[in-house]
Amino acid sequence: MSAMSRSERLVLATRYRLVSRIGQGAHGTVWKGHDDLLDRAVAIKELRVPEELSEDDRIVFYRRTLREARAPAQVRSPSIVEVYDVVIEQGRPWIVMELVEAPSLEQIIRESGPLPPERVGPIGRQLLDALAAAHRAGIVHRDIKPGNVLLDGDRAVLTDFGLCFPAGSASLTKSGHFMGSPAYVAPEVAAGEQATPRSDLWSLGATLFAALEGRPPFERDNVLATLSALANEPAPVPRNAGPLAPVVSGLLAKNPARRLSHARAADRLERALAGPRSGRRPPTPRLRMMAAIALAGATVASCGIGVTALVIGMSRQSSGPSATEPATAATQARAGAADDAPPGTASAALVVRARTDNCRIFVSVPGPSMEVLSDETLSRGDARQYDRPRLNAVIHDASACDVWVNGQRKPLGESGRRQTYTVTKETSGS
């Protein structure tokens, strides 16, 4: 009878039955199993004990395996494979885990090539959340790489928490084989320092780099060449990262003190996922007008005419409420009944009253030189009225403001939707 068939007939702790081999690596074999007690499918990792260990070292190995298997079992995250049990059988430890039947990120990269930023971004966010949960519990993964990331539909799952390096985070064995994944190990860990949460973040950056570029940042032909590049060469700039480039580059900072923290990485990633509008707000029409004034003023000044004269001339042409001046009694009224315009404003061309504190308005007089009457956010109950022959108005949240045009109340718009009005005295359009 072969070793495989003997193992396949093995039942661990009288309940975990091995069904079939899923995969095998340097540190052990992963089996698909079945929990006969709870009648559910499980994954079982058979850890390989290093042959060179003495009897005392084997005891330490078992104790550490048990301790590091218990730790992630206490962490609850949808992006972390759940650990169910640890069993010592046939002189070696077996880890019983949640079965996730899905390809790894490594398989997907190998079969399909680099992934687009819009797919890598959500993967990175889930892995970052998983690491944050683990690090809060005092757990350092120490072997983050595409092979340990499973992609189950839209769910990214990090496997092998603290189980791949039970004898040390990074070292060269007597035979010269690197313990772990040198292409994804942080520089300080490769130099012999202890693994930390910051080193996990570096490995996450290398994993995202590989997802975007098809290869890890410092991979070379052999282990020693890879470690040499890691120690002596600057991190390459990802070419296919798009909006994720600041996240990946920040995680790959070689100095752990300058590396992105969880919070900063999450912030940059959220900005990247939200798109270009998530950061700086686009300039408002008023700001664009001010920039045009400044440019015109600079041009006039270069011809020998003072900029001050230009600004004063424009000020004299302006009338009506200013965005920077407090509204007077003639231009502001407190709210009356919900369906009635504020008192004294029924004949005005345009009246706006804030339903909530999010009533942001921009009102201007169209023409060759646009005159801005208001660019502000009103407090709930505040009202403004404008009585010009022609007006343009933008309500940034159509559900936050009540609007009357020539005395007629306009229907309330949808929440969060921008509404534009073009007003002519005694007539209306929107």
Known binding positions: 45
Q: Read out DSSP for 253-316?
A: -SSTTTSPPHHHHHHHHHHHHH-GGGSSPPPPHHHHHHHHHHHHHHHHHHTT--HHHHHHHHHH
| 402 among known catalytic residues | no
Q: d(Cα 96, Cα 201) in Å, to the nearest integer? A: 27
Q: d(Cα 362, Cα 372) in Å, to the nearest integer? A: 8
Closest C-alpha among 329, 389, 396 to residue 365? 389
Which amino acid is present at 162?
Answer: G
Rounded-to-10 torsion of CA 182, 183, 185, 186? 120
CA 303 to chain centre: 50
Q: d(Cα 258, Cα 251) in Å, to the nearest integer? A: 9
Q: Of the residues 129, 143, 160, 382, which is catalytic?
A: 143
Q: d(Cα 74, Cα 80) in Å, to the nearest integer? A: 11
Closest C-alpha among 82, 75, 181 to residue 135? 75
Residue list, annotated binding site for ATP: 45
Question: Which residue pairs, CB below 8 angstroms and at least 24 apart, start in 267-272?
Answer: 269/121, 269/124, 269/125, 269/128, 269/244, 270/125, 271/243, 272/117, 272/121, 272/243, 272/244, 272/246, 272/247
Helix (H, G, I), strand (E, B) or coil at 265: helix
Q: d(Cα 317, Cα 373) in Å, to the nearest integer? A: 12
Q: Are 87 and 97 in contact (CB under 8 A)?
A: no
Q: d(Cα 282, Cα 278) in Å, to the nearest integer? A: 10
Catalytic residue numbers? 143
